[in-house]
Structure 1
Amino acid sequence: MLIMWWLTLATICLYVCWRDLKSRIVTNTSVIFLGCVLLTSKIFHGSELYFVNTLLLLLLGMLLWKLGVFGAGDVKLASVFALSIDPEYLLLFLVVVLILGGIEALLYLLIKKLKPTRIVHDGLPFAIPIVLSGVFSVGASI
């Protein structure tokens, strides 16, 4: 059962990353599916859900969205992951997201400089660092 759960989580996460990479869109449907998969794990294992973390991250994310720093889909994606991340790993989750996002930004600048025609969208597909950090943080929280 646990292997199926991880495979389902991985499939949804790969879809989210691919979609964000190709179109810079994180759909509500994929965030809802991801939330359902994470919730089923918590329900079956009797683990705690971290609503305070989620609410704080959602409020901070909404502020950053209003300032134009992050997309709304990225905020929702990070908030859904926060629902399953133990509070002791939440700061680590955020730091890893920012570090991976910084590496991604440097790679994008390098690619844009060397092959400007390769980058067809403005902005970064920030779902990739969120998903990578989120999956590892959820795994650490189990």
Structure 2
Amino acid sequence: MLLLVSMSFIGIYTDLRHRSISNCFCLLILVFSATYCFIYGNFSIPLLRMVGILFVGFVLFSLSIVGAGDVKLLSAYSLGIAPEYWWLTVFLILILGAILALIYLVYGLLTNKINEVRARGLPYGIPITLASIFGIWLSSL
């Protein structure tokens, strides 16, 4: 779990700094999540959930609502989250994302750079990562 957390903070840094989540990083998270899924549960429901996230995420990406890296990251983490903690994890992602959006809005308004903040977008990998690590941790208990 410590290795997954360490790697996740590297991902948070790159998303915050560059607004990019690499495919290699998502693949590493997928490998670790699959390992947790194999150790602590079965593959059937998480695998179906992962495919569903990729499908819905592709549609949302096509509509420019969400970034492709965020979709890949969420689908990779989702494999390691037990079904009973999935909706709690999604709710936590939404709450953390709202807090992040509020922080960016206040920053943009206070610095009079709201257009730059909007153009750069939100590093939504941060709430996805934090909530997913929590969900994986709960799943391992």
| Other-structure match for 1:15 | 10
How much does 1:116 deviate?
A: 4.2
The CA distance in 2 between the partners of 1:98 and 1:73, in whole Å, is 17
| Other-structure match for 2:134 | 136
TM-score normalised by length of structure 1 = 0.87
| Unpaired stretches in structure 2, ≥5 consecutive residues | none
Q: Give deviations 1:67-114, integer Å, cap 9, x for gaps.
A: 111100000000011111112222222221111111100100101111
- After TM superposition, the structure 1 stretch with the greater mean CA deviation from structure 2, 107-116 or 24-33, is 107-116
| Other-structure match for 2:98 | 102
Question: Are the counterparts in 2 of residues 53 and 87 from structure 1 also a CA contact under 8 Å?
Answer: no
How much does 1:134 deviate?
A: 0.2
- After TM superposition, the structure 1 stretch with the greater mean CA deviation from structure 2, 73-82 or 48-57, is 48-57
Determine whether 1:31 maps to 2:26: yes
- After TM superposition, the structure 1 stretch with the greater mean CA deviation from structure 2, 31-40 or 17-26, is 31-40
| Unpaired stretches in structure 1, ≥5 consecutive residues | 1-5
Determine whether 1:91 maps to 2:87: yes
How much does 1:117 deviate?
A: 5.8
The alignment-based identity, stated in percent, is 33
Q: Give deviations 1:28-48, integer Å, cap 9, x for gaps.
A: 0111111112223334x2631
TM-score normalised by length of structure 2 = 0.87
Alpha carbon RMSD of aligned pairs, Å? 1.9
Q: Which has the higher helix share?
A: 2
